Amino acid sequence: MRIVAGEFRGRRLKSPTWDGLRPTSDRLRETLFNILGDAIRGARVLDGYAGTGAIGIEALSRGAARVTFVEHDRRAIALIESNLAPLARRRDAIIRTGFGGLGLASFDVIVLDPPYAPEAAAEALDQAAGLLAPGGRLVVEHAARHAPPAERGTLRLQRTVKAGDSALAFYGF
């Protein structure tokens, strides 16, 4: 894995050494950030189900003001910390072990990458409910074979992009 663009372009990231963690491919991350475009610059970003931290680190590389990584697996948290350590902008990153306590936070961009299970996208949307700032963008990575919900609360599906067996579902108000 490597950072695709921005300040840290080309930097290699450490990958998990255990089963059960599925990092977002470089190609899919590139697609995601090409679609988000300038919305990342200066944004407050939430990388939910962060795994290796690749999405949040890519956001920092592309000019995000601050990234909050949410991950509950201690091994993955150590991996995120290891991937952040050599970066000059690591001070702009916060690592949390769950979505609880984020109720007063507001994010311009939320990217959620839950496990690839039939109801995972809907459950991930519920976890992030109320955290998206007005005009913000929320994206859920999911298995292409599992359709994401067309709406969840006030969020409405605006676009889906498929790449292999993965897909990105873009939501807004």
Q: What confidence category does residue 14 fall into, taking pLDDT thresholds of 50, 70 and 90?
A: very high
For a pLDDT cut of 70, what percent of the chain falls above it?
A: 99
* Three-state SS at 26: helix
pLDDT value of residue 118: 92
pLDDT one-digit tens code per residue, 40-52: 999 999 999 999 9
At 79, the pLDDT band (50, 70, 90 cuts) reads: very high
Is the domain spanning 26-172 CATH 3.10.180.10? The answer is no
The SS3 of residue 33 is: helix
- pLDDT-derived band at 23 (thresholds 50, 70, 90) equals confident
Would you say 138 and 166 are in contact if contact means Cβ atoms under 8 Å apart? no
Which sequence spans correspond to the domains of the chain? 26-172
> What does the DSSP 8-state code read for residue 31?
H
pTM exceeding the 0.85 threshold for the entire prediction:
yes
To which residue do tokens 């190609």 refer? 27
d(CA 5, CA 151): 32
Outline where 15-139 has alpha helix (H). 26-36, 54-61, 74-84, 120-127
Helix (H, G, I), strand (E, B) or coil at 6: coil
Asked if 96 and 68 count as a contact pair (C-beta separation under 8 A), the reply is yes
Q: Which residues contact 52 (CB under 8 A, 6 or more apart)?
A: 1, 13, 14, 15, 16, 21, 23, 76, 79, 80, 83
